[in-house]
A and B are shown apart, each in its own frame.
Chain A
């Protein structure tokens, strides 16, 4: 039994990292990824936690302390909309501005005929991704940023000053938040760093999903070349932002690689080669990745099994977690698998039943971390998350 907060932190860190090495800790680590749930629990609106990150930090610390979790994300309401307003980003619907204050922020998919990157821009992007992002993409997505060649404006200049300084302020705040989680409740910051799959970033922020789907048939070689062009940059940024101590993984949320967005054949051709290259590159640097497989990923398990042992922690959303365990449980720690609809609409008894089923099926030999299937928003009932936490603390003892 830990007698002080730092001792508790070290005990939890050991528990968490032991599980991520696919070994058996003293008990199953509890690491919920909670986004707008924190607002509901702490009495804030979605607007407050999205637009005032100090309130999001405060709500996260309250949840971490009162639920007594082993690890959590310092701020899972990951987009600080105050910053996106400061640089006048067009692609968010913000609670309290574009949405009711009690709704979570939304990403706005661009119209097919006015994507942030046009279908004829591939060569420019492939030639120089960084130059393209500054010169073409940013003026299209940020209202105040003036396109290259047009007269500059005060608001253009201010966008970079405010954006840069606000970004540094936010990241410094996140560092402080990780420290406060450690010292106030002995909670481990569950992830570090920034990574997206090349295909996802082209879909999400450049071509839009519909536009990219058309490109898969009209100009497939350009899509592949674009993924290859951006991949070294994504590897570099993930490496630069990873935990310097190599204790916690880089978070990787994937949107478009699952069924039915891509068939397994399309996944193999377009999505997987560059993502696998990045994951192997991180592994060779001693960096583990939290492979957050949002949606149904089981048709792609044979590809994921190609990755080096322990290179990822495989998070299960809608896939059959027993099938995942049979396919890759000998290679990777698993997490998740507790359905969000049960957490939102079920009873505490329902939650305990699904937790028991998952633990019995995949966690008997260690290598499992308790969490919901997907990030918990404000529909998760506090009593159900309490049931998931308390049941795991008791039943998850080894």
Chain B
């Protein structure tokens, strides 16, 4: 198995940024900031379900 292989929803992602950004109006400020913070908080949602699966 190649580690670079992509699943439809890659590891670390619950709701992809590409999907989220479609919901937003054209951004007036720092788009990269919004993207980075979305990914950081989204990863918590990802970890939640895997912690349920693996630890609880």
Contacts and interface: CB of A to CB of B under 8 A. Distances in A.
Given A130-B49, A138-B49, A167-B48, A232 B56 contact: no
A89 B56 contact: yes
Nearest to B13: A130
Interface of B: 1, 3, 5, 7-14, 44, 46-56
A131 B16 CA distance: 12
A205 B53 contact: yes
B48 to A, nearest CB: 6
A201 B54 contact: yes
Contacts of A235: 3, 11
Contacts of A231: 1
Interface centre among A129, A133, A163, A233 (most CB of B within 10 A): A233
Contact of B52 (A163, A195, A229, A232): A163
Contacts of A228: 1
A196 to B, nearest CB: 5
Contacts of A129: 7, 9
A128 B55 CA distance: 20
Interface in A78-133: 78-80, 83-84, 87, 89, 127-131, 133
Contact of B9 (A79, A80, A128, A274): A128
Given A83-B56, A133-B50, A228-B1, 15 more contacts: A87-B52, A127-B8, A128-B7, A130-B9, A130-B13, A130-B46, A164-B44, A232-B7, A233-B7, A235-B3, A237-B11, A237-B47, A237-B50, A237-B54, A277-B1
A194 B54 contact: yes
A232 B49 CA distance: 15
A86 B12 CA distance: 25
Contact of A201 (B9, B44, B53): B53
Given A167-B48, A228-B1, A277-B1, A196 B9 contact: no
Interface residues of A, number: 39
A240 interface: yes
Interface in A195-238: 195-196, 201, 205, 228-229, 231-237
Given A233-B11, A237-B50, A79 B1 contact: no
A345 interface: no
Top 7 closest pairs, chain A to chain B, by CB: A236-B11, A128-B8, A130-B9, A133-B49, A237-B50, A194-B54, A232-B11
A6 to B, nearest CB: 30
B14 A130 contact: yes
A83 B12 CA distance: 23
Contacts of A229: 7
Contact of A80 (B12, B50, B56): B56
Contact of A78 (B13, B44, B53, B55): B55
A57 B8 CA distance: 40
A229 to B, nearest CB: 6
B56 to A, nearest CB: 5
A133 B53 contact: yes
A23 to B, nearest CB: 30
Contacts of A303: none
B9 to A, nearest CB: 5
A134 interface: yes
A131 B14 CA distance: 8
Interface centre among A137, A229, A231, A237 (most CB of B within 10 A): A237
A78 B3 CA distance: 30
Contacts of B10: 232
Nearest to B10: A232
B1 A274 contact: yes
Nearest to A233: B11
Nearest to B51: A167
Nearest to A142: B52
Nearest to A239: B11
